[in-house]
Amino acid sequence: MLILILSLVVLGCFAALLGLISHKKAGKDDVILEGSGSCSTCNGEDEHCIHDCILEAAVKEVEYFDDEELDAFISRESDSYTEKEIEQFREILYTMNQKEVADWNRSLTIRGINIPNDLKDEMIMMIENN
């Protein structure tokens, strides 16, 4: 029994030694990737950044942009808005700082509010031009 235990210990030490030698031979250091920055700097091109920002936003409190009245449109299809309702969205969109548009879009998404189809292109242009 003692021989079996000693054999296992020696085998374990030998395996650890081989692992260290092969790691040193490869000559590769462990690479630590730097984070892609905060969500305020996420420009929408990096899928990892977008994913992280959505996850981060999901655990934070919902941020409102003086648009509480839009909560009436939760779960509404984006092609079912009237002209008057589209104007409500447009008024908020064009009165906010252009740098806040992406955050506002995330806020609406988290709240379950779909942007009217008529405004989607305008919103995308504002986000891309930021």
pLDDT digits (tens, 9 = 90+) for 65-120: 889 999 999 999 999 999 999 999 999 999 999 899 988 998 898 899 999 999 99
Residue 27 lies in a domain: no
pLDDT digits (tens, 9 = 90+) for 92-106: 999 999 899 988 998
Q: What pLDDT does residue 35 have?
A: 53
Q: What pLDDT does residue 120 have?
A: 94
| Mean pLDDT of the residues in the chain | 83
Distance CA 103, CA 105 (A): 5
Residue 108 lies in a domain: yes
Exposed, middle or buried by CB within 10 Å (0-12, 13-18, 19+), for 116? Answer: buried
More confident call, 30 vs 7: 7
Q: What pLDDT does residue 39 have?
A: 67
List the beta bridge partners of residue 74: 113
pTM beyond 0.85: the answer is no
Residue 97 lies in a domain: yes
Residue 102 lies in a domain: yes
Residue 48 lies in a domain: yes
Boundaries of domain holding 119: 39-128
Highest mean pLDDT among 16-25, 38-47, 112-121: 112-121
Q: What pLDDT does residue 26 have?
A: 62
Question: pLDDT at residue 60 above 90?
Answer: no
The Cβ of residue 3 has, within 10 Å, a number of other Cβ atoms equal to: 7
Residue 114 lies in a domain: yes
Q: How many domains does the chain have?
A: 1
Residue 10 lies in a domain: no
